[in-house]
Amino acid sequence: MSTTKRWKFLLFLSLMGGVPMLSGCGEAPKQPQAPLVRGVLTTAADCAGLGTLSVETCAKAIEMAVAEHEAHAPSYPSLKVCEKAEGVDKCERTDTKGYRPRLMAFIVTMTDPPVAAPLYPTPKGEAGFRTANNSLLLSEDESLTFSRPARAAAEMQASKGGGGYKF
């Protein structure tokens, strides 16, 4: 084998031998993601009090949750029908003279942008709230951060045997 061919062959081998070593380069090690902070809150000030978002950012998220509540909460023609479905003292009057479940608090997920959803009284008077799809968010759930006013509202409705807390 000539010297030129030998050098080309050695160069080829060295390049091929380095490919497996380089295959892991360029990829950053995966950082463990911090768990999402989810707060059960009653106001934008409660939300900002968690220290992650500004009052203005929280207010925008909560405004969207109120709009969702107004547009999609179940509607009932009378208080009697609403209370039969939702429970005694768990209804509020709408601007169209109907009734719907009382908006009690918000669940806010601290993302960018934050996402908020309306919360309603629990069906059996548990200390907590329920979502629009009936998932329970109880005050004993350590994965949630309850603001003091939200915790007070949750406990008040529980102490009333399931009746809603009127703000």
Q: Establish if 91 belongs to a structural domain.
A: yes
Q: Tell me the pLDDT band of 59, cut-offs 50, 70 and 90.
A: very high
Q: Establish if 4 belongs to a structural domain.
A: no
Q: Establish if 29 belongs to a structural domain.
A: no
Average pLDDT, the chain: 83
Evaluate whether 16 touches 23 at the Cβ level (below 8 Å): no
Q: Which residue in 76, 108, 107, 106 sits closest to 92, CA to CA?
A: 76
Extract the tokens encoding 160.
């009333």
Q: Establish if 166 belongs to a structural domain.
A: no
Domain that holds residue 105: 35-159
Q: Which residue in 165, 162, 86, 70 sits closest to 118, CA to CA?
A: 70
pLDDT at res. 11:
42
Return d(Cα 78, Cα 1) in angstroms, integer: 98
pLDDT at res. 12:
46
pLDDT at res. 150:
95
What pTM was computed for the model?
0.75
pLDDT at res. 40:
96
What confidence tens digit (pLDDT) does each residue in 23-40 have? 555 566 666 666 688 999
Return d(Cα 81, Cα 66) in angstroms, integer: 23
Q: Establish if 6 belongs to a structural domain.
A: no
Q: Which residue in 94, 148, 85, 96 sits closest to 121, CA to CA?
A: 85
Q: Establish if 13 belongs to a structural domain.
A: no
What confidence tens digit (pLDDT) does each residue in 143-156 have? 999 999 999 999 98
